[in-house]
Amino acid sequence: MAQTAPRIVDVNPSTVFVGGGTPITVLYEGKFAQTPTAAIDGVSAPANETTPGTVTLTAPKHASGAAQLTLMGANGETATATLHYYSATDDWMPLLLPIAALNVPGANGSLWTTESVLVNLGTESIDVLRVFPFPVSSSHVKAGARQPLDFVWQPGGGALIWVPRWALGSLAVNSRVSDVSRQSQTWGTELPVVRGDQFATTVTLINVPTAPRFRNMLRVYIPNFFSFRFRLIGKPLDGDQTLFDITRDIQMPHLAPPDVTPGLPASAAIDLATLPNFHAADRLRLTITSDVPVWAFVSVTNNETQHVTLVTPQPR
């Protein structure tokens, strides 16, 4: 009976540094006559079959971009897959998950938890760098697979993950926060997942309510700098009178592969009710400006029901 032609089903990791030296595990189905040899775009990469169907090799140096990984058998059998090389941080895209909570107590007995899920809609495995907790780890999401983000959430602030740019069109990310003390009443609130290229030096938030029955928390984020200053101006939604104008300095470690500094995404949280003249209008328009790109939103929580509504940036 003819043997099944070999086929590569997974390459882990699928994105490696141009300098080479990264250990790679290749899973395949089918049969080779003996332990296959391996090459990356024709450059030999000595291989070792550790278990049937599992080959390990070390990635050689290669220019940034896609390369063909080939396993070759003694009788001419071949199996191929794509290996991706990166050279700098710019080959990755940071994704901000703005709320990171695991059973964090809130007002009136509420208990907040964030759930985030990765789904690989493509035909290649995707490596997602997770930068907290440290040391840096990764989620390897196989083609067609669904995987929760299982790293430990923090009491406040957000989290960053880094996705290879080549994989952005194939990876779907969903994040939501819910009050688990009332989970039978609600599915929670879906959170935006913000790409690094959606940050801007001017962010506008409109229709922010000021009624006392709501708690309004402004959160400002930045992914790529050690420190930053932002300015917050509040005006009535339908007027031009400046109700408050404040400046804040923030300093936090930045998070960026391959050289990652321990810390969280630099962020600031402001309880809007503490600002002067916040209640001077029924609805507000907020403008946040900075010399470096930022992103911001306001979480509006109903004090009675604990239902959360998000006011997110508007296009300019």
The DSSP output letter for 60 is: P
Question: Residue 134: what pLDDT?
Answer: 46
Length of the chain: 316
Strands of the sheet containing 194-195, edge to edge, are 137-141, 126-130, 159-164, 92-97, 194-195
Question: Residue 133: what pLDDT?
Answer: 46
Q: What is the pTM of this model?
A: 0.86
Question: Residue 1: what pLDDT?
Answer: 43
CA–CA gap between residue 57 and residue 199 (Å, rounded): 39
CA–CA gap between residue 193 and residue 201 (Å, rounded): 18
In the chain, where are the structural domains located? 7-86, 90-311
- Residue in the structure block whose two tokens are 């039978």: 184
Question: Residue 112: what pLDDT?
Answer: 78
Class of domain 7-86: mainly beta
CA–CA gap between residue 277 and residue 284 (Å, rounded): 11
What do you get for the CA distance between the two ends of the chain, in Å?
66
C-alpha dihedral over 96, 100, 106, 111, to 10 degrees?
Answer: 130
For CA atoms 88, 91, 96, 101, give the dihedral sign: negative
Question: Residue 3: what pLDDT?
Answer: 63
Cis amide leading into 258 (omega within 30)? yes
Question: Residue 131: what pLDDT?
Answer: 61
Question: Residue 258: what pLDDT?
Answer: 43
Question: Residue 230: what pLDDT?
Answer: 92
CB atoms within 10 A of CB 129: 22
Q: Do residues 160 and 265 touch, judged by C-beta distance below 8 A?
A: yes
Question: Residue 158: what pLDDT?
Answer: 76
User: Mind listing the pLDDT tens digit of every residue in the chain (316 residues)?
Assistant: 456 889 999 999 999 999 999 999 999 999 887 888 999 999 999 888 888 899 999 999 999 999 999 999 988 899 999 999 999 888 999 888 888 777 776 767 777 788 899 999 999 999 998 765 444 567 899 999 999 886 555 555 677 888 999 999 999 999 988 887 776 666 788 899 999 899 999 999 999 999 999 999 999 988 665 677 899 999 999 999 999 999 988 765 444 444 433 334 567 789 999 999 999 999 999 999 998 889 999 999 988 888 889 999 976 6
- Of 297, 299, 275, the C-alpha closest to 288 is 297
DSSP letters of 5-19? PPEEEEEESSEEETT
Question: Residue 255: what pLDDT?
Answer: 43
Cis amide leading into 133 (omega within 30)? yes
Q: Do residues 288 and 203 touch, judged by C-beta distance below 8 A?
A: yes
